[in-house]
Chain A
Amino acid sequence: MSDAWEELLLAGYNETEQDEIRRLMVGWGKAFFTSVAHCIVYHANEHGFPRRYLLYLRVASNFNKKRASKTERKDGTTIWVRPNHEFLIESNGLVIVYGRNKP
């Protein structure tokens, strides 16, 4: 079932791109947001990908964990950090935020 945030996430993309968004969304969690789509839209805007949600999801899914440092916390979150300013945070195996700490 679609929600308003998912409609926003998919808006402007063709059918193939929408399918790719839906496929990439499967790896995401929603933390305390109302839906996975809401979580993605919020963080894409926060981390410099406003209205470029597919790009944000692609970049996040290409995060290279091989050279990343990994920290697991007792609350179920796992923090991945790379030297190139990228980071990825998962909760119980699902991504809740991807970002870059650079100007």
Chain B
Amino acid sequence: MVEISLDTSKAVSNELATLAQTETKETDRKLIAQVFNSLNPDFWATARERSRLHKIEWQAKTNVLADIQIFNTYLAGIASQIADYGYLRNLDLVTTDKYMNLWQLHVFGERDFDNWFFSSPNDFPKLKVYVQKLDYLRLLVIAYVETYLLPDKAEADKLAGEAQPEQTLAATLA
């Protein structure tokens, strides 16, 4: 009978956990890609409703359509990077921007928008489903960033912090 040391057992267990997380990360990335890639066809399908809402908004001086478009623009910039690369090249900006950071991105909570969205639930059905999908994508992106990207960044920052004295020492000796 082969005996396995406690250290070996722990190492194997860690390897399996890492492997499982890598697979889950890839599954989550693919889900974000799938939802992101379905946005444009859904957006095109809202053309008639957007046209009608544009006329109403031009009279009422509200900006529900612009709120949706701004939300879409910032979210798409983030989601497309996760879909394509699995990471964010501008993670710092996305997580620290004063007004448009990942946790501030929202479309619900604006008075005019909430009035439009909730006051007559059956009006503009395609546009409202599109907004719900955007909000679902927002939640997927937040979960991805918090689960995978921020811990990786913290680990990298920690390693960089530990490496710094050696670099300083090497520079001093040179």
Contact = CB atoms under 8 A, between A and B. Distances in A.
Interface string A21-41: 000000000111110001100
B5 interface: no
B100 A75 contact: yes
A87 B63 CA distance: 11
A85 B73 contact: no
B74 A31 contact: yes
Interface stretch (B7-15, B46-54, B151-159): B46-54
B73 A43 contact: yes
A76 B99 contact: yes
Interface string B63-85: 10110011011111110110000
Given A31-B74, A32-B78, A34-B89, A85 B43 contact: no
B57 interface: yes
A99 B77 contact: no
Nearest to B75: A32
Q: Name the residue in B40, B47, B58, B66 with the highest tally of chain A Cβ atoms < 10 Å from its Cβ.
A: B66
A71 to B, nearest CB: 6
A81 interface: yes
Interface residues of A, number: 30
A38 B66 contact: no
A101 B55 CA distance: 9
Interface of B: 40, 43-44, 47-48, 50-51, 53-54, 57-58, 61, 63, 65-66, 69-70, 72-78, 80-81, 89-90, 93-94, 99-100
Given A32-B94, A38-B80, A101-B47, 8 more contacts: A31-B73, A32-B74, A32-B93, A33-B77, A42-B77, A43-B73, A79-B66, A102-B50
Interface of A: 30-34, 38-39, 42-43, 45-46, 48, 69, 71, 74-77, 79, 81, 83, 85, 87, 89, 96-97, 99, 101-103
12 contacts: A31-B74, A32-B100, A33-B77, A42-B80, A69-B58, A75-B100, A79-B66, A87-B54, A87-B69, A102-B47, A102-B51, A103-B51
